[in-house]
């Protein structure tokens, strides 16, 4: 038994478990002895992950293949696992919607906001009562470094992550006396399909990509110890320094930097085609 299973019990639920940060958090929780509910749309990948997890750890897994943005999906997820004593939830599924705000299709923005805001809110709300009843439980919400400021070309995405940051910081205090540890993890650039598919030349940004393994470890180490954690020392500095300067300044800086990185990506693409 690990100290985390001692504290939160035997079962954890992770959404976005088929890829990136969610997948890595699931793997690390399994190595700490948690049985896992693995949630995402791609069942085949979840099956492979469950198989891999069971080869390496003596734990149980339950797969729920679900498009969480469909109406009623979160309630159906809750009902399908209601017999399990889940003590730790990690709603990690999320998408971006890169592009200038007015040039984005509104339906793309809406589905991003649904998955990034409403789904984790509903998951936290619906599982929250059981977590309070258990008296010792944990919730890890996934924000972003972009949640700490406005980011041109990611306006609605950054706003969705600011919402998660505020929600989690508040619940950390509101639920503390009921035995629920709430942590907001804010990753910076992380090497996952999420960032790999963006039309940005990241070498033009003053950032370095972290491995999802490192980001996942940062979250699990911080759970129960603090309300928020930014992964990576440079990202910590970005998030911290914003408190001491006018809010508009880092927005203007990132407007310049991201536009430059988008242009660099476009011209690289032109050269290779």
Ligand X SMILES: NC(=O)c1ccc[n+]([C@@H]2O[C@H](COP(=O)([O-])OP(=O)(O)OC[C@H]3O[C@@H](n4cnc5c(N)ncnc54)[C@H](OP(=O)(O)O)[C@@H]3O)[C@@H](O)[C@H]2O)c1
Catalogue the active-site residues: 157
Q: Which of 2, 6, 42, 100 binds ligand X (CB under 6 A)?
A: 42
Closest by CA to 120, choosing from 11, 38, 41, 15, is: 15
Of 192, 218, 228, 235, the one binding ligand X by CB under 6 A: 192
Between the CA of residue 244 and those of 116, 207, 237, 239, 249, what are the distances in Å? 28, 20, 11, 10, 11
Residues 64 and 43: their CA atoms lie apart, in Å, by 8
Among 30, 50, 68, 184, binds ligand X (CB under 6 A): 68
Task: Tell me the window of 6-14, 64-72, 78-86, 255-263 that interacts with ligand X (CB under 6 A).
Answer: 64-72
Q: What is the full DSSP assignment across 194-259?
A: HHHTSS--GGGSS--PBPHHHHHHHHHHHTTT-SEEESSHHHHHHHHHGGGS-THHHHHHHHHHHH
Report in angstroms the alpha-carbon separations of 68 from 56, 117, 271.
28, 12, 39
Q: Work out how close the CB of 131 gets to ligand X at its nearest, in angstroms, rounded to a whole number.
A: 20
**Residue 94 touching ligand X (CB under 6 A):** yes
**218 part of the interface to ligand X, by CB under 6 A:** no
- Kindly determine how many residues on this chain lie close enough to bind ligand X according to the rule CB under 6 A: 28
Q: Is residue 95 part of the contact set for ligand X (CB under 6 A)? A: yes
Nearest distance in Å: CB 39, ligand X: 7
Q: Any contact of residue 190 with ligand X (CB under 6 A)?
A: yes
What's the min distance (Å) between Cβ of 212 and ligand X? 6
H helix or E strand, kind and range, residue 62:
strand 61-65
Q: Count of alpha carbons within 13 Å of 237, Cβ hemisphere only?
A: 4
**Which of 10, 195, 242, 259 lies at the binding interface for ligand X (CB under 6 A)?**
195
For position 22 contacting ligand X by CB under 6 A, the verdict is yes
Q: Which residues bind ligand X (CB under 6 A)?
A: 15-22, 40-42, 67-69, 92-95, 115, 142, 144, 187, 189-190, 192-195
């Amino acid at each position: 038994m690990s100290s985390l299973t001692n504290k939160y019990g035997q079962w954890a639920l992770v959404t976005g478990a088929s890829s990136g940060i969610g997948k890595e958090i699931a793997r690390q929780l399994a190595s700490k002895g948690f049985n896992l509910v693995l949630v995402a749309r791609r069942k085949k990948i979840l099956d492979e992950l469950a198989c891999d997890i069971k080869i390496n750890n003596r734990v149980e897994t339950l797969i729920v293949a679900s498009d969480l943005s469909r109406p009623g999906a979160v309630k159906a997820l809750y009902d399908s696992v209601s017999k399990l004593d889940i003590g730790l939830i990690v709603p990690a599924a999320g998408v971006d919607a890169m592009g200038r705000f007015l040039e984005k299709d509104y339906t793309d923005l809406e589905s991003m906001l649904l998955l990034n805001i409403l789904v984790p809110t509903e998951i936290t709300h619906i599982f929250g009562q059981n977590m309070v009843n258990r008296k010792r439980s944990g919730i890890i919400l996934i924000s972003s470094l972009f949640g700490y400021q406005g980011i041109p070309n990611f306006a609605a995405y950054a706003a969705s992550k600011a919402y998660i940051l505020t929600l989690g910081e508040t619940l950390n205090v509101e639920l503390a006396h009921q035995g629920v540890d709430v942590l907001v993890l804010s990753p910076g650039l992380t090497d996952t399909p999420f960032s790999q598919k963006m039309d940005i030349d990241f070498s033009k940004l003053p950032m370095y990509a972290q491995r999802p393994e490192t980001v996942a470890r940062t979250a699990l180490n911080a759970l129960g110890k603090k309300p928020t954690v930014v992964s990576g020392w440079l990202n910590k500095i970005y998030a911290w320094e914003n408190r001491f300067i006018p809010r508009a300044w880092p927005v203007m800086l990132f407007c310049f930097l991201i536009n430059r990185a988008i242009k660099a990506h476009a011209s690289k693409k032109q050269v290779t085609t």
